[in-house]
Homo-oligomer: A and B are copies of this chain.
Amino acid sequence: MQIIEPASQMQSLALSLRREGKIIGFVPTMGYLHEGHLSLMRIAREKCDMLVVSIFVNPTQFGPAEDFSQYPRGFERDSALCQRENVDIIFAPSAQEMYPDGYATYVEVTGKMTDVLCGYFRPGHFRGVATVVAKLFDIVQPHIAIFGQKDGQQLAVIRKMVADLNMPVEIIGAPTVREDDGLAMSSRNKYLTEEERKVAPAIYNSLLLASKMIEDGVRDTETIIAAMREFLDSFDMFRIQYIEIVDAETLECKRQIAGKVMIALAVFLGKTRLIDNIVIAL
């Protein structure tokens, strides 16, 4: 396994691998890897000759009041986990390498897709995500790239960017990996106190409640959202940022359940912001 820091070195290698006809698979991460990340690597591993994982805590996707500096890091452990998953190359650039002084170029998916859900509460977040993913794709030159459904809006935004900008990359969405009690895996779970961790599975349970209501024939999204809200409020621990039901592809708000919808929410549990979602196709 190679560990590469300079973008130019990663890019030259990627371009020469492509000339040799090698299929490059790519899993971009912010490190502090968990089973969710490893599942993405396993999916990519099956589909490519060369598996590249990037580890980069991207400053441009954090707001000024957000947790960039506290975001958990641990390169040694991450590197060992990648090795175990037969990763070929870790690309781990510095922030200075990715955003040198005078950096000025941004990629933005405009409009409603980034105005809703997390985009509404984290202005600039998806501009940072789109920009870093565009840069990483140019550097790593992947044929396929894997993103978790856990960050459902991110996945939709990246699919849109790739389609709009004609990027020659196949985007694969991978199922959310959960703890035994249903909590979606996230590097941020580490922030939770013991008490918070105990109640955290209620987030997923609120999604299961919604799923059950739909199964039982409820179609009005306001009714479903109200029930989820009531359920979460009953714990007296969650501050709900949003609960929304949107079209899974366009992210347009739905008043009625129809087609493929994403039920998504963001809550604060103490100081920690957690997100989760499920996709339901009727």
Interface, chain A (partner B; CB < 8 A): 7, 11, 15, 18-19, 21, 102-111, 113, 130-131, 134-135, 138-139, 141, 160-161, 164-168, 250
Contacts and interface: CB of A to CB of B under 8 A. Distances in A.
A49 B18 CA distance: 18
B105 A160 contact: yes
Copies in the complex: 2
Nearest to A114: B104
A138 B160 contact: no
A168 B15 contact: yes
A104 B135 contact: no
Given A104-B164, A135-B165, 11 more contacts: A11-B168, A19-B19, A19-B21, A103-B164, A105-B107, A105-B109, A105-B165, A107-B107, A107-B134, A135-B164, A135-B166
A11 B163 CA distance: 13
A77 to B, nearest CB: 28
A108 B130 CA distance: 12
Contacts of A134: 107, 165
A107 B166 CA distance: 13
A105 B127 CA distance: 10
7 closest Cβ pairs, A-B complex: A105-B164, A138-B166, A104-B111, A139-B166, A105-B109, A104-B110, A105-B161
A4 to B, nearest CB: 13
A102 to B, nearest CB: 8
A104 B111 CA distance: 7
A165 B60 CA distance: 14
A7 B163 CA distance: 11
Nearest to A103: B164
Contacts of A161: 105
Contacts of A11: 166, 168
B160 A104 contact: yes
A168 B138 contact: yes
24 contacts: A7-B166, A11-B166, A18-B18, A18-B19, A104-B109, A104-B113, A104-B160, A104-B164, A105-B107, A105-B108, A105-B109, A105-B130, A105-B161, A106-B107, A106-B108, A106-B110, A107-B134, A108-B108, A134-B165, A135-B164, A135-B165, A135-B166, A138-B167, A138-B168
